């Protein structure tokens, strides 16, 4: 349990620190004074000043923060030219968006690392047998795991759908499969005669085999980081689309008065992290990528207290031609924070109740990811 808690804090801290580091880099490049970059949350244990910035280590080892000079008009501004509040809209937008960009880059790098070590899944024209059910026509007929099906009754098959279609049409009839098999480092061709079942058992097809046209490709080592980044971008886009649709469905259900499903708070994320950690470091890195995309999209939502809310205020400023009164902005952000914390509290209660009903972390995680 202690190990799971440690991994949980490390994962979330990486996500938050990378996000805040994006703000830090963008602010420094724009000439905005970064007063403090904190590791963990206050109270502060100690700090070291490097240049103009204090790098602090704080008591609670969870995430971090980046405090900019003059984030609002109410702050004490001693260096007007280095104050965030006094910068033009483009500069402020770039600093705000930088955190989201860093989370997206973190996700791409995380996925790239996983692909570099585990290989690249790609679709082939080989229909490969990956499992054979005990006592099935496939086992009786001599079909083995690793065999590649070339044809069904002289009908060439290059996709899973073709294989399934031809086998379905041959239920109850003797059928000849031409297969390719690797044996003693040699590739041989064989013909097997099988009879697909008309009424197969549950979760088994007529032949009782599991097939795939996907193989794991291992590029040359020097190419893997570059190819990994390419597939990392594709994964980031896939998860980005998935998260956006998930948020859309969640808000749509809320407006309909329906409780959203598949939403996890800190308790749910801890449970998922503890389960993923059992599969090793690469699984944890992959989870960091998925959570980083979630954090990026959540932060860009135009809701008070989030980065997207700050962008919304800058947009309103551009429309009305003047900055929103600081007290008004702060009040709206405070209300937004209260709403977010309330939702977080309610989701956490729901997670605890579901965890108790599930009886175990593994079953609880299954209920979340369904």
Q: % helix / strand / coil in the chain, to the nearest 5?
A: 55, 20, 25
Q: For strand 209-217 and strand 175-183, is the pairing parallel, antiparallel, or unpaired?
A: unpaired
- The residue assigned the tokens 């697909």 is 196
What is the C-alpha to C-alpha distance for residues 255 and 243, in angstroms, rounded to an integer?
18
Same domain? For 363 and 251 the reply is: yes
242 and 95 in one domain? yes
| Overall residue count recorded for the chain in this entry | 370
Placement of tokens 């902005």 in the chain: 329
Tokens encoding 90: 């483009």
**Final residue of a domain: which of 187, 217, 247?**
217
Tokens 């968006």 identify what position?
97
Q: Are residues 98 and 240 in the same domain?
A: yes
Task: State residue 42's pLDDT score.
Answer: 87
Spatial separation of the C-alpha atoms in residues 326 and 328, rounded to whole Å: 5
* 294 and 152 within one domain: no
Total number of domains constituting the chain: 2
Domain final residue, candidates 162, 183, 217: 217
Hunting for tokens 């804090």 — which residue is that? 9
Residue 347: is it exposed, middle or buried by C-beta count within 10 angstroms (0-12/13-18/19+)? middle
State how far the Cα of 154 lies from the Cα of 268, in Å rounded to an integer.
51
Q: For residues 182 and 236, state if they share a domain.
A: no
359 and 237 co-located in one domain: yes
Coil, helix or strand for 84? coil
Domain boundary among 156, 190, 217: 217
pLDDT of residue 304: 87
Residues 279 and 169 both lie in one domain: no
User: Domain of 176: which CATH number?
Assistant: 2.30.42.10
| 364 lies in the same domain as 339 | yes
Burial of 78-105, coded b for 16+ CB within 10 Å and e otherwise, reads: eeeebbbbbbeeebbbebbbbbbbbbbb
pLDDT at 254: 67
How do the pLDDT tens digits run along the chain, 370 residues long?
677 888 888 899 999 999 999 999 999 999 999 999 999 888 899 999 999 999 999 988 778 899 999 887 777 888 889 999 899 999 999 999 999 999 999 999 999 999 999 999 888 999 999 999 999 999 999 999 999 999 999 999 999 999 999 999 999 999 999 999 998 889 999 999 999 999 888 888 899 999 999 988 888 888 888 999 999 999 999 989 888 887 787 777 767 766 566 667 778 888 888 888 888 999 999 999 999 999 999 999 998 889 999 999 999 999 998 888 888 888 998 998 898 888 888 888 888 888 887 777 777 777 666 6
Same domain for 152 and 102, yes or no, is no
How far apart are the C-alpha atoms of 123 and 299, rounded to whole Å? Answer: 35
Same domain for 256 and 112?
A: yes
227 contacts 113 by C-beta, under 8 angstroms:
no
Residues 257 and 360 in one domain: yes
37/63 Cα distance (integer angstroms): 11
Q: Contact at 8 Å (CB) between 268 and 368?
A: yes
pLDDT of 367 reads 67
Range of the domain at 64: 2-117+223-369
Do both 338 and 232 map to the same domain?
A: yes
What is the spatial distance between Cα 25 and Cα 3, in angstroms, rounded to a whole number?
Answer: 32
Integer Cα distance of 13 and 62 in angstroms: 5
pTM: predicted TM-score of the whole model, two decimal places? 0.83
Rounded CA-CA distance 93/307 in Å is 10
């Amino acid at each position: 349990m202690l190990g799971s808690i440690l991994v949980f804090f490390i994962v979330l801290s990486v996500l938050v620190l990378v996000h805040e580091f994006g703000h830090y880099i963008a602010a420094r490049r724009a000439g905005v004074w970064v007063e403090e970059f904190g590791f963990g949350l206050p109270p502060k244990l100690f700090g070291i000043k490097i240049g103009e910035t204090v790098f602090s280590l704080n008591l609670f080892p969870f995430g971090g923060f980046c405090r900019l000079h003059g984030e609002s008009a109410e702050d004490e501004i001693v260096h007007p030219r280095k104050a965030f509040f006094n910068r033009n809209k483009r500069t402020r937008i770039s600093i705000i968006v930088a955190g989201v960009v860093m989370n997206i880059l973190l996700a791409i790098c995380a996925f790239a690392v996983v692909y570099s070590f585990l290989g690249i899944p790609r679709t082939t024209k080989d229909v490969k047998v990956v499992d054979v059910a005990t006592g099935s026509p496939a086992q009786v007929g001599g079909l083995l795991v690793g065999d590649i099906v070339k044809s069904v009754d002289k009908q060439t098959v290059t996709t899973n759908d073709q294989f399934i279609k031809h086998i379905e049409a041959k239920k109850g009839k003797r059928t000849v499969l031409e297969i390719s098999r690797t044996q003693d480092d040699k590739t041989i061709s064989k013909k097997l005669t099988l009879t697909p079942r008309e009424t197969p058992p549950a979760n088994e097809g007529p032949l009782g085999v599991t097939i795939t046209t996907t193989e794991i490709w291992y590029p040359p080592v020097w190419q893997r980081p570059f190819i990994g980044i390419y597939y990392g971008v594709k994964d980031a886009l896939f998860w980005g689309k998935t998260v956006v649709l998930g948020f859309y469905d969640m808000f749509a259900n809320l407006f309909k008065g329906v409780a959203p499903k598949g939403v996890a708070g800190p308790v749910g994320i801890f449970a998922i992290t503890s389960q993923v950690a059992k599969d090793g470091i690469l699984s944890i890195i992959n989870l960091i990528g998925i959570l980083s995309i979630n954090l990026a999209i959540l932060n860009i939502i135009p809701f008070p207290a989030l980065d997207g809310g700050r962008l919304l205020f800058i947009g309103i400023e551009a429309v009305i031609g003047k900055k929103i009164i600081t007290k008004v902005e702060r009040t709206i952000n405070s209300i937004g924070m209260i709403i977010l914390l309330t939702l977080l509290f309610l989701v956490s209660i729901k997670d605890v109740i579901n965890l108790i009903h599930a009886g175990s972390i593994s079953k609880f995680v299954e209920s979340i990811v369904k």
